[in-house]
């Protein structure tokens, strides 16, 4: 495994499967009453967030704390970053504090790679979402969730049909998922208006559909994407009502899903735009579970990148089980 996780392309097939398997082991900890392992004791993990985030930031924080690392939360607002400090000076400060891992979210695509390439720091850099580029741990938690439900006995996702629907153009979640789900053998269809597909999409390992009705009945997973208004300087579709009518997951389309198909969304959702409330809250929705699984997957990533003490974890989980905790 490489030192940094900047993109899904940093992972081999075996690395990806190892992360999912390790996450499955570590998930047992999240279910135990004492949700803590000593494996990263004494290590320092910094959450460096230049962009707003709820679930990703707290998920990384919970993951690091469950492995007993010290966590420093550093958000751009209220720090010297808002006084114009450069990424380099910030990195040197983090290095001086002995950060073993820096989890970075930035609105500029490529910012995590810059932090890693310049060797300003000796620790690992983990991309928690950079601009419209990538969000590798989101894709890993999505793959984990799909495997758990649809391929529980298998290593990968061979043959699973996944529709990724909506604002692909601005979505780092979609980019990382296309790379990862394809690596794991899933068959991907992107569903979006032509204006919300990136240039060069014809070279991606995907099929394309221009309406949700065409794919909804054949998909094993329907992954809805948020319409990212904050990244839209112009109009990409005539009206929200029209967008919902063609691309939204609503009660009619929900009824057409296969009985065991999964409804997913990375959050935050625009209820009523890309997804109706009844779809988001339906029995087929695993949206809340995605958040839970995110903690286990991020524990696995931190554990594997930082080379945590050997799964003393396993011993601990067992002793928890033995004493009926
Ligand atoms: C995503 C993100 O920030 O890229 N959310 C997340 O990490 N859970 C998707 C989004 O903002 O739409």
Respond yes or no: is residue 83 known to be catalytic. Answer: yes
Domain harbouring 92, CATH code: 3.40.50.1370
- Report how far ligand 1's centroid is from the alpha carbon of 173 (Å): 7
Q: Which of 196, 178, 74 is nearest to 135 (CA)?
A: 178
Same domain, 82 and 219: no
Same domain, 142 and 131: no
What pLDDT shows up at residue 81? 67
Q: Is the CB of residue 129 below 6 angstroms from any atom belonging to ligand 1? A: yes
Q: Kindly list the distances between the CA atom of residue 181 and the CA atoms of 40, 63, 90, 153, 189, in Å, as whole numbers in the listed order.
A: 29, 23, 34, 17, 11
Same domain, 143 and 284: yes
Same domain, 272 and 150: yes
User: Which pLDDT tens digits describe the chain residue by residue (325 residues)?
Assistant: 999 999 999 999 999 999 999 999 999 887 888 889 999 999 999 999 998 888 999 999 999 999 999 999 987 776 676 666 788 888 888 899 899 999 999 999 999 999 998 888 899 999 999 999 999 999 999 999 999 999 999 999 999 999 999 999 999 999 999 999 999 999 999 999 999 999 999 999 999 999 999 999 999 999 999 999 888 878 788 899 999 999 999 999 999 999 999 999 999 999 999 999 999 999 999 999 999 999 999 999 999 999 877 664 444 554 554 444 4
- Report how far ligand 1's centroid is from the alpha carbon of 262 (Å): 19
Domain that holds residue 40: 8-135+294-324
- Report how far ligand 1's centroid is from the alpha carbon of 321 (Å): 35
Atom of ligand 1 lying closest to residue 225 CA: 12
Q: Is the CB of residue 226 below 6 angstroms from any atom belonging to ligand 1? A: yes
Respond yes or no: is residue 265 known to be catalytic. Answer: no
Are the beta carbons of 92 and 71 closer than 8 angstroms?
A: no
The answer to whether residue 256 is domain-embedded is yes
The answer to whether residue 2 is domain-embedded is no
The answer to whether residue 3 is domain-embedded is no
- Report how far ligand 1's centroid is from the alpha carbon of 249 (Å): 18
Same domain, 28 and 75: yes
Same domain, 122 and 147: no
Respond yes or no: is residue 93 known to be catalytic. Answer: no
| Number of domains forming the structure of the chain | 2
Same domain, 304 and 278: no
Rounded to 5 degrees, φ, ψ at 34 are -100, 105
Specify which residues 207 forms β-bridges with. Answer: 189
Atom of ligand 1 lying closest to residue 171 CA: 4
Task: Name the residue of 226, 290, 294 whose CB sits within 8 Å of the most ligand 1 atoms, as the mutation to test its pocket.
Answer: 226
Q: Is the CB of residue 55 below 6 angstroms from any atom belonging to ligand 1? A: yes
What pLDDT shows up at residue 318? 46
Same domain, 68 and 169: no
Rounded to 5 degrees, φ, ψ at 67 are -95, 10
The answer to whether residue 75 is domain-embedded is yes
Same domain, 222 and 271: yes
Same domain, 35 and 150: no
Atom of ligand 1 lying closest to residue 51 CA: 3
The answer to whether residue 1 is domain-embedded is no
Respond yes or no: is residue 56 known to be catalytic. Answer: yes
What pLDDT shows up at residue 235? 79
- Report how far ligand 1's centroid is from the alpha carbon of 215 (Å): 24
Same domain, 167 and 64: no
Same domain, 143 and 128: no
Cα distance between residue 190 and residue 313, in whole Å: 39
Task: Name the residue of 268, 274, 289, 290 whose CB sits within 8 Å of the most ligand 1 atoms, as the mutation to test its pocket.
Answer: 268
Respond yes or no: is residue 57 known to be catalytic. Answer: no
Q: Are strands 70-75 and 44-49 parallel, antiparallel or unpaired?
A: parallel
- Report how far ligand 1's centroid is from the alpha carbon of 266 (Å): 6
């Amino acid at each position: 495994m490489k030192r940094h996780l900047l993109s899904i392309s940093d992972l081999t097939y075996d690395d990806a499967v190892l992360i999912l398997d390790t996450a499955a082991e570590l998930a047992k900890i999240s279910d135990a009453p004492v949700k803590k392992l000593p494996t990263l004791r004494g290590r320092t993990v910094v959450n460096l967030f230049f962009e707003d985030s709820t679930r990703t930031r707290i998920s990384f924080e919970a993951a690091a704390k469950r492995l007993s690392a010290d966590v420093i939360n550093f958000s751009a607002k209220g720090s010297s970053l808002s006084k114009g400090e450069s990424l380099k000076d910030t990195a040197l400060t983090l290095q001086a504090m002995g950060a073993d891992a820096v989890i970075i979210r930035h609105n500029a695509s490529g910012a995590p790679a810059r932090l890693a390439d310049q060797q300003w720091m000796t620790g690992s850099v983990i991309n928690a979402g950079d601009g419209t580029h990538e969000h590798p741990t989101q894709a890993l938690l999505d793959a984990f969730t799909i495997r758990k439900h649809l391929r529980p006995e298998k290593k990968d996702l061979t043959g699973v049909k996944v529709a990724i629907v909506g604002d692909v153009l601005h979505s780092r979640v979609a980019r990382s998922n296309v790379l990862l789900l394809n690596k794991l053998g899933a068959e991907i269809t992107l569903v979006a208006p032509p204006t919300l597909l990136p240039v060069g999409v014809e070279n991606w390992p995907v099929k394309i559909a221009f309406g949700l009705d065409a794919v909804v009945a054949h998909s094993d997973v329907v992954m809805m994407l948020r319409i990212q208004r904050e990244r839209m300087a112009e109009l990409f579709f005539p009206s929200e009502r029209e967008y919902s009518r063609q691309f939204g997951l609503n009660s009619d389309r929900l009824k057409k899903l296969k009985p065991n198909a999964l409804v997913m969304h990375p959050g935050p959702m625009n209820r009523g735009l890309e997804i109706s409330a009844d779809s988001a809250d339906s029995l087929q929705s695993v949206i809340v579970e995605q958040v839970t699984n995110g903690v286990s997957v991020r524990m696995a990533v931190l554990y594997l990148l930082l080379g945590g003490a050997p799964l003393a974890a396993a011993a601990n989980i067992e002793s928890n089980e033995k004493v009926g905790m």
